[in-house]
Structure 1
Amino acid sequence: MANQNILGQLPPDILRSFILVADTGSFTQAAKLVFRTQAAVSLQIKRLEEELGYDLFVREGRKAILSPKGEILYGYSRKILDLYDEAVAAIVQPELSGHVRIGAPDDYATQHLPSALKRFAMSHPMVQVEVLCDDTYKLDPLLNDRKLDLMITTESQSSANSIPLELVWIMSELMNPADVEVLPLALYHQECCYCHNALEALDKNSRKHRVVYRSPSLAGVTGAVKAGIAIAPVTKDTQVEGCRHAVPMDGLPEIAPVHMALRYPPGRSSKVVSSFAEFISSEMGLKREVNTTQNA
């Protein structure tokens, strides 16, 4: 039987772990984002389930999916954490004001930044955040010219300040790539590291392919996939109605992960930019590139 008092005693750290497992579909990914071990996060969820008396997740292959009771708790957990963060911010956060300009790839800005920006706005309502969505190679010169204060970057190679971002193939639920002799691909621009790693994987496995669609945006690429005219490389947490991720029987090669980091332009950052960077680093599990140059 569930402990009737548990909902009034849920620690915020357990709720954050629960929400991140639900959002990522993975205990391992959630553990990285809260800087805990996978075993520690699993234990948190297990204890929560024991207290409530219900399973909160079911397994679908390697993915953790919310159970019906988990869906109910998820909605309330979001509300509880929003109120908790707002209360803490009102008491302990310094009053910041100013303007922050951040650049990010389209897919990451679309799927992950909005919820993080909402929580930051609750803590720092006087800070205006401007987001520029574009490709990494286009954002780079803007960062170097200090037209951006921060930049979330994705690259093919890892660095000391990056974290891996797993890539998978996505396709229409009706497509069977094992029956297709020449794979039709929907890709981003030619400089995209997703595309580079995907094409490299196909070439190494001598898998015939051709590019049938290109778009600079996630919506454009997944639109072609949903229409059934192509498959595409996307991040593992990308979910599209009517589409599925590749499984072993599809016969597609694994794609090497890309690597993500949060970067600064050279020189010293303002207090408001540093505070925003700390927040984003914590929220999204990113590591900040250390500045090697300091302004006088």
Structure 2
Amino acid sequence: MAEFPSIDTDLLRTFAAIADHGGFTRAAEVVNRTQSAVSMQMKRLEDDVLKCALFQRDGRNVSLTPEGHVLLGYARRILKLHSEVFNTLRQPHMVGTVKIGSPDDYVMRFLPGVLSRFAQDYPLINVEVHCEPSVQLLQRNDLDLTIVTRKPGSEMGQVLRQERFVWMVAQGFSPHEQTPLPLAMFNTDCFCRTWACNALDIMQREYRVAYTSASLAAINAVVSTGLAVTAQLQSLLTPDLRIIGEAENLPLLPSASIVLLRKPNNASSPIIECFAEYIVEGFKL
């Protein structure tokens, strides 16, 4: 049987970081190495180990060669298996299930990255995600971790981030010029719907809730076609939408706190605390 040189997982980890972040400089920050050290690692991988070019370099721009794309698939599989071995043998207690509740909008915006990183590091932990409005989630006591929206000053638990609600409409459309103002909002149990309607009532702006859904994707689909205005957290703004406000005769909306709650009267397990740390980091992005 032919003998091949072994591939250091550190080389594969750096290679994957370059592919994920589009260049050597950002990858160096991610793997906590200098840019010159990253360059030397990749030179070793290309020249000494695999003996083929993995990158196409055009000035500061870096892209993968066909061979690089092939390696990337294998690298991800090898790194995943490497992680599984260590997590299974070194942390056998990190096996089980964690139940998390979150409104639909946070699931779409923040949780994909959190879940992806957590699954890579702890592949034997099952995560149950329950999507409901904050009001309903606050009434449940069966969830290990819960992400909810609160007004500043009424926070409970650990504050993940604070940001303002804003009015959004589709690029190139002006439904805010209509009377009554057509709104696309979450269903009645949503904090943002209550705050938006209260603000319009105070300024005596006529409106109608023309479209409702429990799904952020459905609301964005309505708004992006120019049929209505919505009020959402600023971080949920998508490229096909734009922010409007007082210049368009709309009231200023309050800020909101996104908080993380732990199950009351329950000794937190290592699994729950570990996943909570990933959530905290994920909401910083």
Separation of aligned partners in 1, 2:213 and 2:127:
26
1:196 is the counterpart of 2:194: yes
1:7 partner amino acid: T
Separation of aligned partners in 1, 2:233 and 2:60:
24
Pair 1:178–1:97, CA change in 2 (3 A): closer
1:275 is the counterpart of 2:270: no
Runs of 4+ in 1 over 3 A off after TM superposition: 5-9, 69-73, 85-95, 239-242
- Given the two structures, how large is their TM-score scaled by the length of structure 2? 0.65
Shift of 1:225: 1.1
1:100 is the counterpart of 2:98: yes
1:32-77 Cα offsets, whole Å, 9 max, x none, are: xxxxxxxxxxxxxxxx9xxxxxxxxxxxxxxxxxxxx99979xxxx
1:280 partner amino acid: I
- Given the two structures, how large is their TM-score scaled by the length of structure 1? 0.63
> What secondary structure does 2:237 align onto?
coil
Separation of aligned partners in 2, 1:203 and 1:119:
43
- How many residues are aligned here? 220
Separation of aligned partners in 2, 1:233 and 1:212:
13
1:117 is the counterpart of 2:135: no
Relative to structure 2, which stretch is displaced further, 181-190 or 6-15? 6-15
Separation of aligned partners in 2, 1:9 and 1:232:
37
1:155 partner amino acid: R
Structure 1 residue runs of 5 or longer lacking an equivalent are: 16-47, 49-68, 74-78, 287-296
Contact 1:177–1:251 (Cα < 8 Å) also in 2: no
1:72-95 Cα offsets, whole Å, 9 max, x none, are: 79xxxxx9xx99x97899779845
1:233 partner amino acid: A
Q: What does 1:117-266 align with in structure 2 at a 5 Å threshold?
A: 117-142=115-140, 144=141, 146=142, 148-158=143-153, 159=155, 161-162=158-159, 163-177=161-175, 179-240=177-238, 242-246=240-244, 249-266=247-264
> What secondary structure does 2:130 align onto?
strand
1:204 partner amino acid: I
Structure 2 residue runs of 5 or longer lacking an equivalent are: 1-22, 36-58, 64-71
Pair 1:262–1:211, CA change in 2 (3 A): same
1:150-185 Cα offsets, whole Å, 9 max, x none, are: 111112343263332321111122322563232111
Shift of 1:138: 2.1
Pair 1:14–1:108, CA change in 2 (3 A): farther
Contact 1:193–1:258 (Cα < 8 Å) also in 2: no
1:85-109 Cα offsets, whole Å, 9 max, x none, are: 9789977984511111101100111
Relative to structure 2, which stretch is displaced further, 176-185 or 191-200? 176-185
Shift of 1:9: 7.4
> What secondary structure does 2:222 align onto?
helix
Separation of aligned partners in 1, 2:115 and 2:246:
37
Pair 1:127–1:177, CA change in 2 (3 A): same
Contact 2:113–2:282 (Cα < 8 Å) also in 1: no
Shift of 1:140: 2.5
Q: Percent identity?
A: 28
